[in-house]
Chains A and B, each alone.
Chain A
Amino acid sequence: MRTGVIGLILPSTFSFLEMMWRICPALAVGCTVVALVPPASPTPLLLAQLAGELGPFPGIINVISGPASLGPVLASQPGVQKVAFCGALEEGRALRRALAGEGAELGLALGAEALLLLSDAADVDSAVEGVVDAAWSDRSPGGLRLLVQESVWEEAMRRLQARMGRLRCGRGLDGAVDMGARGAAARDLAQRYVREAQSQGAQVFQAGDVPLDSPFYPPTLVSDLPPASPCAQAEVPWPVVVASPFRTAKEALALANGTPRGGSASVWSERLGQALELGYGLRVGTVWINSHGLRDPAVPTGGCKESGSSWHGGPDGLYEYLRPSGTPARLSYLSKNLNYDSFGLVVPSALPAGPETGPTPAPPYGLFVGGRFQAPGARSSRPIQDAFGNLHGYVAEGGAKDIRGAVEAAHQAASSWAGQSPGARRALLWALAAALERRESALASRLERQGVELKAAKAEVELSVRRLRAWGAQAQAQGQTLQLGVLAIVCPDEWPLLAFVSLLAPALAHGNTVVMVPSGACPLLALEVCQDMATLFPAGLVNVVTGDRDHLTRCLALHQDIQALWYFGSAQGSQFVEWASAGNLKPVWVSRGLPRAWEQEAEGAGPELGLRAARTKALWLPMGD
C-alpha cells in the first residue's frame, strides 16, 4: 500500500530529469509529494509551474524553495510519512540524527562521486571518452576516481591530456560546448580541493578552452596523490578526476572498495571474464562495463555503504514509496530526554536478591560465536527466570568485545556463504528445520516453563519449522540474490522461539551472515537452536550473543562494519538505533516499541522481511562488435 505524503529534499546539482525520476514513481503509486528545493536554481521553478498546471489534482506536487536548513523542519512535520533526501553526505547524516525517534522513514541518496577502472585489456581511447562522460560533461553528477592499470598508465595519461585539450567550456545553452558551470559554490569547492591536493604532493593538469571568469572551472586531472593523504579519502568534487595506478585486478578491487562511498562505477576491459569478475566484486549500486553513465527508468539506481541505501527506478524504486498493508501510519515516539551518550553504556549490575535455591542448575551457556560455544570476555553470566519465578538457567553476559568477535566471525563466513548456490542454502535451512523437529519436546518443555500452554508451545515449534522450510524453498526458487553482508538482529522479548527463527530464516536465505541478540526474557530457546546450528552450519554463519540488551544494542548500532540492523525492542532503543546508524549510514528497521504479530503470516513471514534482507545491483554490459 502506498506510503502517503513524501517529503523530498533535493540538492541544487540535480537536473530536471533527475528530479522527475524521483517524483514520478511516488506519484505513480499514489503518494503526494512535497519537494524542498534550493532557492538559487531555476530548474525547480519549472517543476513548480508544472505542479500548478495539474488542475484536477491540485496539491499532489508541492514545491518549497528554501535553504537546506528547512530540511529537518520539513521532515519533522507530523503529516510526512517518509523523507527522501538526496544530497551531500554530512547533511544526510545530520538529517538521520535529527529524525531519530520521529517515526518517519528516511531514504538517503548521498554523494555524487563515481569510479572508473581501466584495465590493460581495455580500449584505452574509448575509456578516455568514458572519463569525459563521467567527469567533464554536463551529465556527470560529480567528480571521478580513476584507477588505471600500471602497464597502460603512460598511454592513458597521454590520451587523457590530449583529450582534455579539446574540451570546450562555456555557457550551458550553447550547443557546441562540452561542459558548463555549476555555480560559484561548486567552483570554490573544486578549487579548494585542488589546492589541498597540490599541497599534499599531487600533480595537477588542467586544460581545455575555458572562459577565465568565475564560475567556470577547467577540467582537472590530479595524479600522484599519496593514497594516505586526506584528499584521497575525501569525496572528489566536479570537475576533478583523481587518477591512481594499480598492479593487478585484486589490488584494483581492494582500492576501489576501500572508500566509504559506494555509488556507481564503470569497468573497462575487453576480456569478458575479467570485466564481470570486477563488476561483481565492486561494492557499488551500479556497474557499467565498457561504458559509463547509462540510465534507464526501468533499472534500479542506488548505492550502498555511505552512498545511502535508497533506490530510484525499477521495482526497487517503487518499493521505496510503498509499505506493507496494515502498517500503522507514522507515530512519533520521540523521547526528548534520551541521552545518546549514555544509553546502554554501562550495564546495570544485578546483585542477586537473596540466596538462590532450587535444583542444581545446568552449567551456564556460553556465547555462540564462530560456530561453537565460548566463554564471554567478561567471564560472567546472568540468571534467567522462568514464568513461575524459578531459576531456568544461566546465560553468558556478553559485552563490547564479544560483539566485536561475533561481527568478525560473521565477516569471515560471509564470502563463502554468499557464494553458496541457492540449493545449498535451501539444504541447510531444511536441515535445521529437521533438527528442530527432532528437538520438539525439549523446546516445548522450555516454552511451557515460560508459561506457554503445551498445545500452544507445540504449535509454536511447528510454525517455526514450517517457516524455516518455507524460506528455504523461497531461497531456491528466487535464485541468486545479492546479500547485504553482516546483518545484526535484536530479537523481541516475546515469542522467544518463533521470532528468533522468523528473523533468522530470511536473513540466511538471502545470503547474509547474522549476529543475533535473542529474547531477553528467555534466550535459552535460541541457545537450544544453536546447539543444532553448531553441527549443521558453517562456523560464523550465525552468532548469538546474550547479555544486557541495551548495551549490546549500543555496540551493534555504533559498529561501523555491520551492513544492516533490525531492532525489535523498546521505543528508546529504537530511537537510539536510528540515531546511531548515522555513523556508517546502515539501513535500520526498528519496531518503535510496538509489538508485532509474529504468528501471523503477513507480519511474521511476509515479503517485507525478504525485501529488507537483500539489496540490488545493476550491471550494464553493452553488446556489439
Chain B
Amino acid sequence: YKFYNRGISKYLSWISKIQVNHPAVLRRAEQIQARRPVKKEWQAAWLLKAVTFIDLTTLSGDDTSSNIQRLCYKAKYPIREDLLKALNMHDKGITTAAVCVYPARVCDAVKALKAVGCNIPVASVATGFPAGQTHLKTRLEEIRLAVEDGATEIDVVINRTLVLTGQWEALYGEIRQFRKACGEAHLKTILATGELGSLTNVYKASMIAMMAGSDFIKTSTGKETVNATFPVAIVMLRAIRDFFWKTGNKIGFKPAGGIRSAKDSLAWLSLVKEELGDEWLKPELFRIGASTLLSDIERQIYHHVTGRYAAYHDLPMS
C-alpha cells in the first residue's frame, strides 16, 4: 500500500458538539439487520467477497510456529480448491486479506507465508494488546520491534483511560506517536468500544483516531465482554463518512470479535454498503477480524455447491 494517511492537525470543535442518541441508533441497527437479505448465487458471491476481507487471526497464549504455519496456509487457500472450481473462481486469486498475530509470532508468520508463496501482509497487534495498560515507552518499542520483524500492518489499542477522563488532546498525542513509530506500516487503531461507556465517546474517539493519522479504525480487540455490534459500527461508520466529507480522506473500518457465522458477515457487508457505499467494499478500506468465520463461510459455500451440509472433517482445519 503506497499511500498512508499522514494525519492532520486536530480540530477539537468538530467533536465537541456531537450528540449520539442511543435508542435511535439501536433502532437503526435492528432495521438494517432485518432488511437487505442476500440469497442464492448472489449470496455465494458475497461470501467469497467476505473471505477476501478477513484478517485471519490467532491471538492465543498457546500459539506456536505449527499453528501459525497452518493459519498461513489457510490464508493462502481459504476455500477448498474443488469448491472454487465448481464456482469457476479458482483462478481469481482468492486469499484472505491479511494474517493477524501477536508480535512474538510475526517472524514465524512471515516465514510461513514466504514458504507458501503468498504476499499478503502480516498484521501484528501492539501497544500492550489487549488492555493497553503499559508504559508509553514500551508500547512504542513494541510497534518498532514488530515493524522490524516484518509486519506491514500494526493494530494498536488506544488508552481507554484517556477517553473515560475526557483527555482528548492527550489521546491525539499518543496516537500521533504510534503513527510515527509505525513509519511506513499501516496503522489500525482499536477503539475497544465495549469499554468506552457511551456511543458519544465512540464517535469522539473515532474522530480523534482518524485526525491523528490512522488508516483504519477497529471496533474492538475481540477480548472484551462486548465486541463488534451494529450500533457501535453505525456510529463509527458515520464518523468515517463525516471525516471523508470534511477532509476528503477515506479511512478504513474493521469490526473484530464475535463475528462467527456467515450470515453475520453478510449483514456486516450490507451495513457498510448502506452507510458508506460500494467504494468502501474493498480490502484497502474494509476488513473483518475473525478466526472461526472462515470455516462457517466454507461450509455455506460447500452447501451452495453440493446441496449438502458438510461434516466437521470434510473441510481442512485452519
Contact = CB atoms under 8 A, between A and B. Distances in A.
Interface of A: 121-123, 125-127, 129-130, 158, 162, 166, 175-178, 268, 270, 290-291, 622-625
Contact of B35 (A121, A176, A625): A176
12 contacts: A121-B19, A123-B19, A126-B24, A129-B24, A158-B245, A166-B274, A176-B36, A290-B24, A291-B24, A622-B23, A625-B22, A625-B199
Contact of B22 (A127, A158, A166, A624): A624
B21 interface: yes
5 closest Cβ contacts across the A-B interface? A126-B24, A123-B21, A622-B23, A270-B19, A126-B21
B24 A123 contact: yes
Given A175-B37, A176-B35, A123 B20 contact: yes
A1 B22 CA distance: 45
Interface in B3-43: 19-28, 35-37
Contacts of A625: 22, 198-199
Nearest to A121: B19
Interface string B238-252: 100100010000000
- Which residue of B20, B26, B27, B35 has the most chain A CB atoms within 10 A of its CB atom? B27
B230 to A, nearest CB: 13
Contacts of B25: 123, 126
Contacts of B22: 624-625
Interface residues of B, number: 19
A175 B37 CA distance: 8
A176 B37 contact: yes
A336 to B, nearest CB: 55
Contacts of A175: 35, 37
Contacts of B21: 122-123, 126, 268, 270, 290
Grouping DSSP codes into helix (H, G, I), strand (E, B) and loop, the A interface class, with mixed when no group exceeds half, is loop
Nearest to B35: A176
- Which residue of B19, B26, B28 has the most chain A CB atoms within 10 A of its CB atom? B19
Given A125-B238, A291-B27, 4 more contacts: A126-B25, A176-B37, A290-B24, A625-B198
A625 B37 CA distance: 29
Contacts of B35: 175-178
Contacts, number: 47
Contacts of A162: 241
B274 A126 contact: no
Contacts of B20: 123, 126
Nearest to B21: A123
Given A125-B238, A175-B37, A178-B35, A624 B26 contact: yes
Interface in B135-163: none
A559 B25 CA distance: 46
Contacts of B37: 175-176
Contact of B23 (A122, A158, A624): A624
A290 B24 CA distance: 7
A162 B237 CA distance: 14
A158 B242 CA distance: 11
Nearest to B20: A123
A515 to B, nearest CB: 44
A54 to B, nearest CB: 33
Nearest to A158: B245
Interface string B270-281: 000010000000
B274 A122 contact: no
B280 to A, nearest CB: 13
Nearest to B28: A129
Contacts of B27: 129, 291
A81 B233 CA distance: 55
A617 B35 CA distance: 33
A49 B36 CA distance: 33
Contacts of B36: 176
A496 B64 CA distance: 100
Contacts of A122: 19, 21
Nearest to A269: B19
A269 to B, nearest CB: 9
A595 B19 CA distance: 60
Contacts of B241: 162
Contacts of B28: 126, 129
A132 to B, nearest CB: 9
Contacts of A158: 245
A126 B19 CA distance: 10
Nearest to B237: A125
A127 B20 CA distance: 10
A268 B198 CA distance: 19
Contacts of B23: 290-291, 622-624
Contacts of A291: 23-24, 27
A176 B32 CA distance: 10
A216 B26 CA distance: 30
A127 B35 CA distance: 20
B160 to A, nearest CB: 18
Nearest to B234: A125
A79 to B, nearest CB: 45
Contacts of A177: 35
A233 to B, nearest CB: 31
Nearest to A178: B35
Interface in B193-223: 198-199
Contacts of A125: 238
A234 B20 CA distance: 34
A211 B241 CA distance: 28
Contacts of A130: 24
B204 to A, nearest CB: 13
A622 B21 CA distance: 10
Nearest to B38: A176
B242 to A, nearest CB: 9
Contacts of A270: 19, 21
Contacts of A129: 24, 27-28
B27 to A, nearest CB: 7
Nearest to A151: B17
A130 B23 CA distance: 12
A175 B36 CA distance: 7
Contacts of B198: 625
A291 B24 CA distance: 6
Nearest to B275: A166
- Which residue of B21, B28, B238 has the most chain A CB atoms within 10 A of its CB atom? B21
Contacts of A290: 21, 23-24
B112 to A, nearest CB: 41
A122 B199 CA distance: 14
B219 to A, nearest CB: 18
A121 B17 CA distance: 8
A294 to B, nearest CB: 9
Nearest to B199: A625
A469 to B, nearest CB: 46
Nearest to A268: B21
Contacts of A624: 22-23, 26
Contacts of A166: 274
B194 to A, nearest CB: 15
Contacts of B274: 166
A121 B36 CA distance: 32
Contacts of A123: 19-21, 24-25
A268 B23 CA distance: 12
A291 B199 CA distance: 17
A179 B28 CA distance: 16
